[in-house]
Amino acid sequence: MVLKQLLNGIDYTILKGNKETVINKIEFNSNSIEDNDVFVAIQGFKVDGHNWIENAILNGASTIIVEKQIEIKEDVTVIKVNHTRMTLAQLASNYYDNPTHKIHLVGLTGTNGKTSTTYFLKAIYDYINKPIGVIGTIGNIVGEESRESKNTTPESLQVNGVIQEMINQHINHCVMEVSSHALALHRVEGCDFNIGLFTNLSEDHLELHKNMEEYFNAKAKLFEMTTDYNIINCDDVYGQKLIKKIKNSSAKLITYGLEKDADIKATNIICGEGYTHYTVMTPKGKTNITIQLPGIINVYNSLAAIACAYCSGISLQYIKAGIQSLEKIKGRFEVIHKEDDYKVIIDFAHTEDGLKKALETIRPFVKGRLILVFGVYAPEGEEGNQKRRLMSKVAAENADIAIATSDNPKELDPMFIINQMAHYLQEFGAQYKSILDRKEAIEYAINMCTKEDVVLLTGKGHESYQIIGNKEIPFDEKEIVKEIIDKIKNKKKQY
Ligand SMILES: CC(=O)N[C@H]1[C@@H](OP(=O)(O)OP(=O)(O)OC[C@H]2O[C@@H](n3ccc(=O)[nH]c3=O)[C@H](O)[C@@H]2O)O[C@H](CO)[C@@H](O)[C@@H]1O[C@H](C)C(=O)N[C@@H](C)C(=O)N[C@H](CCC(=O)O)C(=O)O
Ligand SMILES: Nc1ncnc2c1ncn2[C@@H]1O[C@H](COP(=O)(O)OP(=O)(O)OP(=O)(O)O)[C@@H](O)[C@H]1O
């Protein structure tokens, strides 16, 4: 490809060289550069990509895209743009020949419920044998291949690359979880979304967005990129705000919910242990549905998927069969052990609202005590302190015993985190214990568990690692629970 093709539709100034340069591929990390690549220098949170230009040239870059006035002596082409992160998205779209224009793309945003909705929607497509690609927290799925992903929504280069792969494999539908980071950091800039869906908004990620207004505005950006439908949870306060904000959108509004007068609405809800039954009403008729996941939150998540499928022209009969076929979602209310008198559930709740909803969902089915093992994944500073306080409050108010431990402490001192959690658990009158090592905390919880109790482990969900410092340490909660229970059983056998 020639550089000028890549720059199509972008505002730029040539500081040096010429746009006839033949280029190989695009990279934003200097270490991945190969001969004749384009290096896009991004001002990051930790370092400035402009400081890695020399390294990129040494590795073979022939073109450098910058947003700063920088003098480069080497014989390369240098292009200046206003905003390199945004330009990266445009370059990626041009490089892969605008893949999002060629696929039916659903973008899901909101604080909680994106992954769950994604897998309900995928179950419908699987049922009707229509392939659908997935980009999200648990990973990216292209055809038969499922790959882990560092971010919920990857960088624009990967978003466009993965969608192009889907197209190559004749996959005509894609569902993508769109995080607020992705929207604020231009990872989906220029994407053509047929459907945008909003689940809910509660406090999270305030280290990036400063306040709820900014967080909401970041999420709302998705609905400026939709062409066909905007699907919104109208029971959510921010959902209502979004409906007003996008009233001039040319995409059609479809609402879902339980309380307000929604287009797609659930009534007659019966919550059982491990299942939920309800009647769904749509503009094209109603039907009874039984999902194999617990709680009101999964009524919302399945309704969201029903709304998407409805807007994609799938008949209610198939929607019902697909929704009902979903047996479980990795790390979401997953019962990982229920024999030998121990019931252990893992869940990915990692926000104040998610944790509250998770505890409320499980509570009606616990005959004895609800024993919670949880950590708080939050940055340092006021926002992090506030999240640790609010999640500890939820634990104190909704669990019988709360065991504070580590989640992904990352660069924070894990001792500081659990001491702070212990302080708040005490303030809110919890019966609690704090144990730094997560495995020991789980062992402590299982050891005190009786036949009537339930142990709920939150925060890790599908994750099979813990991030401590800058190291990813293997941590598979399912294996760990099995190991602990086997150890207890063996000990019992010896007596
Ligand atoms: C805060 C944040 O979003 N950070 C993202 C950001 O990293 P950064 O700005 O810190 O990058 P940096 O390390 O400062 O580097 C700046 C530039 O220098 C370049 N560089 C750096 C070193 C070098 O040797 N050579 C070089 O060229 C880097 O490639 C980069 O282009 O850009 C990176 C590349 O796209 C992302 O991987 C990274 O996500 C990190 C891993 C992350 O944890 N992000 C989280 C907060 C996130 O995005 N979460 C959302 C929401 C999840 C949810 O819903 O809960 C998500 O979508 O995952
Ligand atoms: N609709 C909902 N409302 C509130 N909490 C929910 C909802 N759905 C799920 N949760 C809770 O939030 C946790 C995460 O759910 P899910 O992975 O579906 O959300 P998400 O939006 O994809 O989050 P993330 O992007 O952080 O992975 C679940 O494990 C559950 O405890």
pLDDT in tens, 58-104: 999 999 999 999 899 999 999 999 999 999 999 999 999 999 999 99
- Ligand 2 closest atom vs CA 108: 21
Least confident window among 121-130, 205-214, 232-241, 435-444: 205-214
Residue 489's pLDDT is what?
84
Last residue of a domain, one of 325, 343, 377: 325
Tokens of 110: 């909101």
Q: Is 153 in the pocket of ligand 2 (CB under 6 A)?
A: no
Query: Residue written as tokens 């209310």?
Result: 333
Tell me how far the alpha carbon of residue 151 lies from the centroid of ligand 1, in angstroms: 9
pTM above 0.90, yes or no: yes
255 and 357 co-located in one domain:
no
Query: The domain containing residue 215 runs over which residues?
Result: 99-325
Mutate to test the pocket of ligand 2, among 112, 122, 197 (most ligand atoms within 8 A of CB): 112
The amino acid occupying position 164 is Q
Tell me how far the alpha carbon of residue 170 lies from the centroid of ligand 2, in angstroms: 30
280 and 366 co-located in one domain:
no
103 and 224 co-located in one domain:
yes
198 and 262 co-located in one domain:
yes
Residue 491's pLDDT is what?
84
Tell me how far the alpha carbon of residue 46 lies from the centroid of ligand 2, in angstroms: 28
Which CATH number goes with the domain that contains 171?
A: 3.40.1190.10
Least confident window among 4-18, 50-64, 378-392: 378-392
240 and 373 co-located in one domain:
no
Tell me how far the alpha carbon of residue 337 lies from the centroid of ligand 2, in angstroms: 21
* CA 164 to chain centroid: 21
**3 state SS of 232:** strand
390 and 487 co-located in one domain:
yes
Share of the chain above pLDDT 90, in %: 89
Residue 344's pLDDT is what?
96
274 and 386 co-located in one domain:
no
- Ligand 2 closest atom vs CA 333: 29
Look at the chain and report how many structural domains it folds into. Answer: 3
- The three-point CA angle 307-312-317 to 5° equals 70
Q: Which ligand is nearest to the CA of 294?
A: 2
Which CATH number goes with the domain that contains 405?
A: 3.90.190.20
* CA 292 to chain centroid: 22
- Measured distance CA(264)–CA(283) in Å, rounded: 7
269 and 126 co-located in one domain:
yes
Tell me how far the alpha carbon of residue 41 lies from the centroid of ligand 2, in angstroms: 34
91 and 103 co-located in one domain:
no
Residue 457's pLDDT is what?
98
Mutate to test the pocket of ligand 1, among 29, 59, 460 (most ligand atoms within 8 A of CB): 29
391 and 276 co-located in one domain:
no
Q: Is 112 in the pocket of ligand 2 (CB under 6 A)?
A: yes
186 and 320 co-located in one domain:
yes
